Structure 1
Amino acid sequence: MAIPKRKVNPKGETVISVSGLTPKAARYSRIFDFLVVAAVVPLFAGAFHLHVMLTVGDWDMYVDWKDRQYWPLVAPISMIMFPAALQAIFWVNFRLPIGATVGATVLLITTWLGRYANWWIWTGFPFTEGVPSQVIAGALLMDMALIVLRNSLFTSIFAGFAFGFVFWPSNYSALAPFYLPVEHQGMVASLADMIGYTFPRSNMPEYLRIIERGTLRTFGSSVSWVSAAFAGFICIFMHQLWWQLGRFASQTTFLKNGDVVKSFMGMKSRRAS
Structure 2
Amino acid sequence: MSSVMNGGIGAPTEQVSAEAHRVGRYLEWLIVGCVVFVLTGAFHLHFMLTAGDWDFWLDWKDREYWVTLTPVMAIMFCGAAHYILWQHFRLPFGATLVCTLLVIAEWIVRYVGWHGWSHYPINLVTPAYFTAGALAMDAILLLSGSWVITGIFGASLFGLLFFPSNWAWLGAFHVPAEANGLVMTLADLIGFENIRTGTPEYIRIIERGTLRTFGQHSTPVSAFFSAFLCTLMYWIWWFVGKAFSTVKYIKGGGL
TM range (shorter): 0.7 to 0.9
Within 5 A, what are the aligned runs for 1:98-247?
Answer: 98-201=93-196, 203-210=197-204, 212-214=206-208, 218-219=212-213, 220-247=215-242
Cα distance in structure 1, aligned partners of 2:86 and 2:97: 12
- TM-score, length of structure 2 as denominator length: 0.85
Cα distance in structure 2, aligned partners of 1:216 and 1:139: 34
Cα distance in structure 1, aligned partners of 2:83 and 2:210: 36
Count of residue pairs the alignment pairs up: 237
Q: Do the aligned residues in 2 keep the contact of 1:77 with 1:235 (CA within 8 Å)?
A: yes
Query: Which of residues 69, 76, 101 in structure 1 aligns to 2:71?
Result: 76
SS of equivalent to 1:221: coil
1:97 to 1:163, Cα distance in 2 relative to 1, 3 A? same
What is the deviation of 1:99? 0.7
Amino acid at match of 1:200: I
Cα distance in structure 1, aligned partners of 2:42 and 2:211: 33
Cα distance in structure 1, aligned partners of 2:28 and 2:251: 21
2:234 corresponds to 1:249: no
1:40 to 1:209, Cα distance in 2 relative to 1, 3 A? farther
Q: Which sections of structure 2, spanning at least 5 residues, go unmatched?
A: 1-12
Amino acid at match of 1:31: Y
Cα distance in structure 1, aligned partners of 2:209 and 2:82: 34
Amino acid at match of 1:52: F
Higher relative contact order (Cα pairs below 8 Å, separated by 6+ residues) = 1
What is the deviation of 1:30? 3.4
Counterpart for residue 48 of structure 1: 43
SS of equivalent to 2:195: coil
Amino acid at match of 1:60: D
SS of equivalent to 2:184: strand
SS of equivalent to 2:187: helix
What is the deviation of 1:29? 3.7
What is the deviation of 1:144? 0.6
- TM-score, length of structure 1 as denominator length: 0.80
Query: Which of residues 20, 25, 28 in structure 2 aligns to 1:30?
Result: 25
Amino acid at match of 2:86: W
Cα distance in structure 2, aligned partners of 1:136 and 1:209: 32
Cα distance in structure 2, aligned partners of 1:215 and 1:119: 30
Amino acid at match of 1:87: H
What is the deviation of 1:250? 2.0
Q: Which sections of structure 1, spanning at least 5 residues, go unmatched?
A: 1-16, 258-273
Amino acid at match of 1:125: Y
Cα distance in structure 1, aligned partners of 2:47 and 2:70: 8
What is the deviation of 1:254? 6.5
What is the deviation of 1:47? 0.6
1:24 to 1:256, Cα distance in 2 relative to 1, 3 A? farther
Higher mean C-alpha displacement, 55-64 vs 29-38: 29-38
Cα distance in structure 1, aligned partners of 2:88 and 2:45: 26
Where does structure 1 differ by over 4 angstroms across 4 or more consecutive aligned residues? 21-28, 253-257
Counterpart for residue 54 of structure 2: 59
Q: Percent identity?
A: 39
Q: Do the aligned residues in 2 keep the contact of 1:64 with 1:215 (CA within 8 Å)?
A: no
Amino acid at match of 1:207: E
